[in-house]
Chain A
């Protein structure tokens, strides 16, 4: 009988007890939303898209959940959530629609049963995952569950682990098949036994999202107790070298990319040596407590029930322990109703080994079920809810999507339901799920899947259309992993029919016992490409307005009204697309179109999505010309474009260079966006000035690094007073407020800022004295 999950460290208890005060401060208006966010996110409490509602992400080390814990989570879901418990792709349990004033009591009640959402979100060491059959899998080297649990305890004890440059994900796989996806973890451990010694090979720097990357091997083999010092060493490396300023390049995989694998390994070994010199406490690993022990078996009747046979074939897996089975409870979209979860908890005690496992496919497993008890279990599940024994034609793993996720672009769950409905009745060909992600981030883990869908948007006929890119060939495996590659892009509404056709075709084209990824490599990728061509056409709005709406939504697909925190990778992709199309238009001499696309591209970052050209021009003028993000000549371009439209002009040819310059500037602004949707270049950069050598003498250089605002501005001013009008001064400023404020203040007082250039960790601002 399973007895343990991670033990709660006293620092977590302290932080949980301190939390109600933070909530009270926020509700009383004493703490700003930003300040509160800094406290609640590392506590695993995320704001949902509908403001005022929150989700609570409860970490389950290795996905292990004891029955009394599951019951408590179910109760909390009923009392404070929406009655549903969600299993995430990292083996957490999640509550939704919780009001902020309820979060303190939720945290307290979770603590009572030994659970915490600490590190469920934010720049923290996130839930430590383990492969779903750890402990019972016939292929495993040994059970990695105790290691996932003990490492979790170790990480929870150190508050510094909740203040890293960015999130940090750790995983354990029992063998090279890598069901825990160590290949794309920040830190991944593969279990091996060498000469009787249990240990791990270690990979680091993997991750999915923008610029997905596979982890690199940093240790061929370490004895098992060494996981703590190795984790500490990698974490310190991350802490030191992760980019705390640029959120979008902060993950460990960017560190690897920046310095290269060899340098990364060298620095890792340096950190490891340091950790060893200091010596860290190594907790005791309680092996064997999660070992399975059969409870009493029930009736031995095995009736001739075709439903039962199908279920058994699909959802029951023999364990390495003779006579015992692991049973999958498939959860559609990872959701289970509270009372069903309670019922499962009961069953785990009566029929299973006393614990539930959450998996990265967003399902729950019961393990240690004696073969003789299977039918009883099947009947109990069927009685609780038919869906718990469902055999979908196609399994899917889906991200939360734009309905709850602020960064989401597409309503991925809507698509998943539509696909499920479309494919109902077809034979379940494969066990591997299709992974659906509503935006270019990878919460659905699609880059590591044989077949995945990635949400996006394109512009057709001046309107936005939700689309999905079909990606194939992803694979997790030790040393042989692969990231999915793009095959085709089709409108969202075309996806269910396309998949249905594909799935039917697989029945005839599949060779005996062929796995899905083999099938795809051999035949499926090309076939999908052909199919996609057939489904790619987007009808006009008048013909089929539903193509311009996402699943489950009656309104036209739009990005308007998004603020910082809601312009994630998906939105960035749309902007990049506009800019690309503007470039194409320019190259094709469609100058008017180029102007429209250029000026429209960045309006989303201001929460705007005007449809009419003159509205686009007006918005661009207000938000970018008046505020001097682009030079004043842009207004000439806009006016000329309007004139062309009105027929007062024949051509924009004479402004071609200005249109080109405007597009370059818009692209520069786009590239400089930070996570608060602020541009990190200075307003109104002047075109390159042809100066005679005489007047462009750089008079001197003033190093104001380390000088805070406004002293840096004051000193720059005073320095300028010393030089002649027309002379040039170089000022070195720190990143952040100094470079944001000083050039603007100098310009505002009439000086001519010639350039602002990044130089390593600081900026060089060149100013010419005007007055």
Chain B
């Protein structure tokens, strides 16, 4: 047992849990989690994982902190405007827990870099805001055998589920491929309540911790759908789709590609 007294104290409130204990804490300290996107979902997710003592956290995001982010991307502050998001986030995570190693990747995920990045991690959190990235993450994790948490938010709603590639339903089991550009509004276009990002991002962190600790039932083969206005959580169950182009009986997607669907935001620029 290698926990120092300071660590025992710092993590005491979760060590108390029967399902965690000192052993569980050591597992967390030895874990590595990659968070794609340091925005609305990545903010709460990364903060809770850092607080819980996940030993290594990777952050990948090519964006710079913008004033419009601050309404919900709570890992960033006003003074960070203009700073690359991953750097701003890393600074806060280290302040929360200096023992956490934060690796930053100031770039966007592409078919060209993703496999190389995710290979060093135990779990991936999809905190992205665009569909091509979501499908890319889904595919890459399938090929690399990495479990991941998928999530999305819009207006007052959110949804998330966990994928164990090859074992549980993946994103393409539900949605064959991305919708065309502008077919589905983004947060910039339709808006989103900050708290909803907090709820869903925190749930992602929770799923991650459960996976790393090996406890509880993961949100696999079912989607949690959150309706903040009605304050309802719904669960929609599903199965692996035999006709899934990625993980079905006759896969048609056998390699990674960048889906052609640039992200469109109201400023009309692509960052």
Give the interface of A toward B (CB within 8 A): 710-711, 713-715, 717-718, 721-722, 745, 749-750
13 contacts between A and B (CB under 8 A): A710-B16, A713-B16, A714-B9, A714-B12, A714-B15, A715-B8, A717-B15, A718-B3, A721-B1, A721-B21, A721-B22, A722-B1, A745-B16
- Residues B18 and A749 in contact, CB atoms below 8 Å apart: yes
Closest to B22 in A: A718
- Residues B16 and A714 in contact, CB atoms below 8 Å apart: yes
How many Å lie between the Cα of A721 and that of B8 in the bound state? 13
Known contacts A718-B1, A718-B3, A718-B15, A711 near B23 by CB under 8 Å: no
Given contacts A711-B12, A717-B21, 11 further A-B contacts (CB under 8 A): A710-B12, A710-B13, A711-B9, A714-B8, A714-B9, A714-B16, A715-B8, A717-B15, A717-B16, A718-B3, A721-B21
How many Å lie between the Cα of A711 and that of B5 in the bound state? 10
Closest to B14 in A: A714
A79 nearest CB across to chain B (Å): 55
Closest CB pairs A-B (n = 6): A718-B22, A714-B12, A749-B18, A721-B22, A714-B15, A721-B23
- Chain A residues lying within 8 Å of B22, measured Cβ to Cβ, are 717-718, 721
How many Å lie between the Cα of A721 and that of B15 in the bound state? 11
A701 nearest CB across to chain B (Å): 17
Please tell me the size bucket of the interface on B: 10 to 19
The residues in B between 8 and 41 inclusive whose CB is less than 8 angstroms from any CB of A are 8-9, 12-13, 15-16, 18, 21-23
B98 nearest CB across to chain A (Å): 21
- Residues B8 and A711 in contact, CB atoms below 8 Å apart: yes
Q: Does more than half of chain B's interface fall in helix, strand or loop, or is it mixed?
A: helix
- Chain B residues lying within 8 Å of A750, measured Cβ to Cβ, are 18
- Chain A residues lying within 8 Å of B8, measured Cβ to Cβ, are 711, 714-715, 718
How many Å lie between the Cα of A128 and that of B16 in the bound state? 53
A760 nearest CB across to chain B (Å): 26
A743 nearest CB across to chain B (Å): 15
How many Å lie between the Cα of A722 and that of B9 in the bound state? 18
- Chain B residues lying within 8 Å of A715, measured Cβ to Cβ, are 8
B187 nearest CB across to chain A (Å): 41
Closest to B18 in A: A749
- Chain A residues lying within 8 Å of B15, measured Cβ to Cβ, are 714, 717-718
Closest to B24 in A: A721
- Chain A residues lying within 8 Å of B12, measured Cβ to Cβ, are 710-711, 714
How many Å lie between the Cα of A721 and that of B3 in the bound state? 12
- Chain B residues lying within 8 Å of A711, measured Cβ to Cβ, are 8-9, 12
Closest to B9 in A: A711
How many Å lie between the Cα of A715 and that of B3 in the bound state? 10
A98 nearest CB across to chain B (Å): 47
A84 nearest CB across to chain B (Å): 57
- Chain A residues lying within 8 Å of B18, measured Cβ to Cβ, are 749-750
- Chain B residues lying within 8 Å of A718, measured Cβ to Cβ, are 1, 3, 8, 15, 21-22
A27 nearest CB across to chain B (Å): 37
How many Å lie between the Cα of A715 and that of B12 in the bound state? 9
A501 nearest CB across to chain B (Å): 69
B5 nearest CB across to chain A (Å): 9
- Chain A residues lying within 8 Å of B23, measured Cβ to Cβ, are 721
A741 nearest CB across to chain B (Å): 11
How many Å lie between the Cα of A711 and that of B23 in the bound state? 16
- Chain A residues lying within 8 Å of B3, measured Cβ to Cβ, are 718
Of A713, A714, A715, A721, most buried by chain B (CB within 10 Å of CB) is A714
- Chain A residues lying within 8 Å of B21, measured Cβ to Cβ, are 717-718, 721
Closest to A717 in B: B21
How many Å lie between the Cα of A715 and that of B21 in the bound state? 10
How many Å lie between the Cα of A713 and that of B8 in the bound state? 11
Closest to A750 in B: B18
Q: Mark B215-247, 1 if CB is under 8 A from A, else 0.
A: 000000000000000000000000000000000
A437 nearest CB across to chain B (Å): 50
How many Å lie between the Cα of A710 and that of B11 in the bound state? 11
Closest to B20 in A: A717
A553 nearest CB across to chain B (Å): 51
B214 nearest CB across to chain A (Å): 15
How many Å lie between the Cα of A722 and that of B83 in the bound state? 46
A715 nearest CB across to chain B (Å): 6
- Chain B residues lying within 8 Å of A745, measured Cβ to Cβ, are 16
How many Å lie between the Cα of A521 and that of B143 in the bound state? 103
How many Å lie between the Cα of A64 and that of B147 in the bound state? 86
B154 nearest CB across to chain A (Å): 41
How many Å lie between the Cα of A717 and that of B17 in the bound state? 10
- Chain A residues lying within 8 Å of B16, measured Cβ to Cβ, are 710, 713-714, 717, 745
Closest to B23 in A: A721
A452 nearest CB across to chain B (Å): 55
How many Å lie between the Cα of A485 and that of B248 in the bound state? 94
- Chain B residues lying within 8 Å of A717, measured Cβ to Cβ, are 15-16, 21-22
B26 nearest CB across to chain A (Å): 9
B2 nearest CB across to chain A (Å): 11
- Chain B residues lying within 8 Å of A714, measured Cβ to Cβ, are 8-9, 12, 15-16
How many Å lie between the Cα of A51 and that of B23 in the bound state? 53
A769 nearest CB across to chain B (Å): 12
Closest to A771 in B: B18
B25 nearest CB across to chain A (Å): 9
How many Å lie between the Cα of A718 and that of B15 in the bound state? 8
How many Å lie between the Cα of A717 and that of B18 in the bound state? 9
Q: Mark B198-215, 1 if CB is under 8 A from A, else 0.
A: 000000000000000000
